[in-house]
Structure 1
Amino acid sequence: MDAFFNDHEQAVLILGALLGIAYGAIGQWSRFCLYRGIEQRFTRSDTGKLHSFALAMACALLLSQVLVELTGIQFNQTHYFQSNPSIPLLIVGGLMFGIGMQLANACGARSLVLLGSGNLRSLLVLLCIGLSAYMMMSGVFANLRIGLENLTRVPLPSASVPEALTIMGLSSSVSRWSASLVIAAGLLMYASRSEHLRTTPRNWLGAAIIGVLISAGWWITGVIGADDFDPVRLSSLTFVAPIGESLQYLMLASGMSLSFASVVVLGVILGSFGRALLSREFQWQAYDSVGQMQRGIVGGILMGIGGVLSLGCTLGQGLSGFSTLAFTSLIALPSIICGAYISLRVFKSY
């Protein structure tokens, strides 16, 4: 890598941008979206998109664990690994994110892809996500969040499924692979039940590639970004805090540096834009009514706040966090799905 880049930070930024471009293009082509799967299951009993997401989860899990085996990166360095998380806030945040996702008709990742395709509704949603996320992280609600977290923390004997198995006497490698293989096998069995998934390359190939991209994100930050004196924070694809960070960079670029998260966000928009142009699918779209705009605003705010409380979004917790088998992800993801389902039941008719 030294022959191509000046330093590890430049390498991370360039590769991060390429990662975002790849996700944007694949997301625009495959229409990959957890919320769309939940909605189709609710309205039409069509589980194709849910099976697609399960396939992506299995691919991300297996490839990320292979990466751990080959490179020795430590997922306990990520924010998903917490031995005393605020479980109530994880659940509440997940529910809020799921409800917001339904109101806005897309999650943060899908909103970035839609923006690249000309959907101006997504621009407003993304602005609301970024603003409300940073209000919770370091803005006017930060002290409230920290206080609630400290009041509701629940000590756990371990931060992940493999760590829990090591307490039972298994070695680290055996614990990691036994958990990974069993869970991945269950996901693959569920995914294989969908004939529509098996016969539609757009769904199964798109899901598989996105699983690869999750592990690529870990490789970029954990291997290429490794440095004894100035390591890049270990992370992969996630889109709540990074959207807020990107907005902050747009306003304060002269006083801060680009980050992996920001270039991924930009890359997603560019990748989706490029693929939409090539396929002649780019089309300007806007809100049809004031009510629709109101739902988008409320949905974006709920996703920003909920994403911070639950430590991630459908990509951050559903794929990146899940690929580490952290307990926080196993709590947050079902909460997000439950929130979207409840919101569909309550608001779909309006």
Structure 2
Amino acid sequence: MSAIAQPSAELPRVPNPVQITALLLAMTAIVLLAASVLMISLKQLLLFGIGVGLGISLYHAAFGFTGAYRRAMLEGDISGVTAQLIMLAVAVLLFAPILAQGEAFGRGVGGAVAPVSLSMALGAFLFGIGMQLGGSCASGTLFAAGGGSLRTLLVLVFFCIGAFWGSLDLAWWSQLPGVGSVSLSEHLGWEIALPLQLGALALIYAVMRFFGGTQKRPLWDIGHFRWQTLLRGPWPLLLSALLLALFNWLTLLVAGHPWSITWAFSLWAAKAAVFAGWDPATSGFWSGGFQQAALERSVLQDVTSVMNFGIILGAFLAAALAGRLVKPAGIAFRSLTAAVLGGLIMGYGARLSYGCNIGAFFSGVASTSLHGWVWIACALPGNYIGVRLRPFFRL
């Protein structure tokens, strides 16, 4: 979802000069990739466009999960978490009528509902630790890498490796006890599930305030918002929260399922492994029909991959417009180690827990999946441990 540490939550009011060369590169890359996916289908083009919008929205507000949880734990600043709660509430309301009828524009749609099990809980816990070591979650890794962070690009590489590693072990982990997939709307009915979820989000906010949480970063700073801000940032947290909910809803309408990220990471690493001589037939997971077809097709035919590319390029475009594209710099050894470990742990955890902070938590809760609620309940203790480990790595 990514606070996703780069850029800083305290963005400057005096704009930096637009980085013209980077802006032209970003626009050229977006146009070329858009033309390529249009040759596949209009649907892929629309999803790529949604991805670009997500990347801009994430970058311009420094909207994320990792830093938001860290600030809440260390400083009592619940600004980022509050924005997430609003985002979830809006997404729940947008998703409800579409999922209730089960179709959009004559095509079937389905929510992000996944099994609840011990292995899923462990995966979410591991993901929480990896978030803090890596310094970003799944969406944060994409937009920070697009913003030029060399360290985050390294996190992305090992995120992919970890996700592929997890896919190879998934069959063993899946044998652990679980209760299967539970959709609250199917078990309780929408008339109960919808107010129950909204009430739970309101209760979480009330509990945070009761225990001293404060909003140190305004959700919408009206006094400093200008029309130029839409192009160059920084955006208010509330604007990005609303846009992320809207883009997830659009993904549901166009793709037939909500926004997800980490499947593509597994796929990219698997394709690299095939190129290196690995045989997918040796893996139960990759022997499945969907997985085999994905390995044989171009990544531009994969919905999640196309959206991820859009997020990276959208963030690249936003960073160039803001004049904040990060220039490559050296990485200290301990920070480098944390990046590698964080990426591996997040990737492995995401595969075990059927997604990340986006596919499992955000899209899961919006779909009334019990899995989404259990995911965040297990990821938060992992975040706490990760926060305590950060000083050792001098983060």
TM-score, normalisation: structure 2 = 0.72
Which of 233, 237, 242 matches 2:264?
Answer: 242
- 2:177 maps to 153
Which of 241, 245, 248 matches 1:214?
Answer: 248
Cα 1:48–1:173, aligned 2, differ >3 Å: closer, same or farther? Answer: closer
Whole-angstrom CA distance in 2 between matches of 1:309 and 1:120? 27
Q: What CA deviation, in whole Å up to 9, does each residue of 1:270-304 have, x standing for no partner?
A: 10011111111112234431111111000000000
- Which amino acid in 2 is paired with 1:101? M
Instruction: Give yes or no for contact 1:125–1:299 (8 Å, CA) kept in 2.
Output: yes
Instruction: Give yes or no for contact 1:113–1:268 (8 Å, CA) kept in 2.
Output: yes
2:130 is aligned with 1:105? no
2:377 is aligned with 1:334? yes
Instruction: After TM superposition, give the deviation of residue 329 of structure 1 in Å.
Output: 1.2
Secondary structure, counterpart of 1:155 in structure 2: strand
Instruction: Give yes or no for contact 1:56–1:210 (8 Å, CA) kept in 2.
Output: yes
Whole-angstrom CA distance in 2 between matches of 1:101 and 1:191? 21
Instruction: After TM superposition, give the deviation of residue 7 of structure 1 in Å.
Output: 10
Which stretch has the larger CA shift, 187-196 or 259-268?
187-196
Instruction: Give yes or no for contact 1:52–1:191 (8 Å, CA) kept in 2.
Output: no
2:66 is aligned with 1:35? yes
Equivalence map 1:125-204=2 (5 Å): 125-137=155-167, 142=168, 144-150=169-175, 152-155=176-179, 159-165=182-188, 172-183=189-200, 185-186=202-203, 194=215, 196-200=217-221, 202-204=236-238
Equivalence map 1:14-53=2 (5 Å): 14-53=45-84
- 2:297 maps to 256
Cα 1:61–1:173, aligned 2, differ >3 Å: closer, same or farther? Answer: closer
Whole-angstrom CA distance in 2 between matches of 1:292 and 1:274? 27
Whole-angstrom CA distance in 1 between matches of 2:295 and 2:379? 37
In structure 2, stretches of 5+ residues that fail to align are 1-36, 222-234, 276-293
Secondary structure, counterpart of 1:348 in structure 2: helix
Instruction: Give yes or no for contact 1:198–1:204 (8 Å, CA) kept in 2.
Output: yes
Whole-angstrom CA distance in 2 between matches of 1:255 and 1:190? 49
Cα 1:195–1:100, aligned 2, differ >3 Å: closer, same or farther? Answer: closer
Whole-angstrom CA distance in 1 between matches of 2:381 and 2:295? 42
- 2:113 maps to 80
Cα RMSD, aligned residues only: 3.0
- Which amino acid in 2 is paired with 1:241? W
Instruction: After TM superposition, give the deviation of residue 176 of structure 1 in Å.
Output: 4.0
In structure 1, stretches of 5+ residues that fail to align are 1-5, 166-171, 223-233
Whole-angstrom CA distance in 2 between matches of 1:286 and 1:262? 28
- 1:10 maps to 41
Cα 1:162–1:259, aligned 2, differ >3 Å: closer, same or farther? Answer: same
- 1:293 maps to 336
Cα 1:41–1:191, aligned 2, differ >3 Å: closer, same or farther? Answer: closer
Whole-angstrom CA distance in 2 between matches of 1:241 and 1:134? 9
Whole-angstrom CA distance in 2 between matches of 1:293 and 1:16? 33
Instruction: Give yes or no for contact 1:104–1:297 (8 Å, CA) kept in 2.
Output: yes
Whole-angstrom CA distance in 1 between matches of 2:343 and 2:255? 28
Whole-angstrom CA distance in 2 between matches of 1:284 and 1:132? 27
Instruction: Give yes or no for contact 2:262–2:355 (8 Å, CA) kept in 1.
Output: yes
Secondary structure, counterpart of 1:281 in structure 2: coil
Instruction: After TM superposition, give the deviation of residue 114 of structure 1 in Å.
Output: 0.9
Whole-angstrom CA distance in 1 between matches of 2:156 and 2:337? 14
- Which amino acid in 1 is paired with 2:245? G
Cα 1:277–1:342, aligned 2, differ >3 Å: closer, same or farther? Answer: same
Cα 1:186–1:43, aligned 2, differ >3 Å: closer, same or farther? Answer: closer
- 2:31 maps to none
Whole-angstrom CA distance in 2 between matches of 1:128 and 1:36? 20
Instruction: After TM superposition, give the deviation of residue 212 of structure 1 in Å.
Output: 1.0
Whole-angstrom CA distance in 2 between matches of 1:100 and 1:254? 27
Secondary structure, counterpart of 2:126 in structure 1: helix
Whole-angstrom CA distance in 2 between matches of 1:178 and 1:58? 10
Instruction: After TM superposition, give the deviation of residue 268 of structure 1 in Å.
Output: 0.4
2:146 is aligned with 1:116? yes
- 1:227 maps to none
Instruction: Give yes or no for contact 1:126–1:300 (8 Å, CA) kept in 2.
Output: yes
Percent identity, aligned pairs only, is 21
Whole-angstrom CA distance in 2 between matches of 1:262 and 1:249? 12
Whole-angstrom CA distance in 1 between matches of 2:179 and 2:101? 31
Aligned pairs, number: 317
Instruction: Give yes or no for contact 1:58–1:188 (8 Å, CA) kept in 2.
Output: no
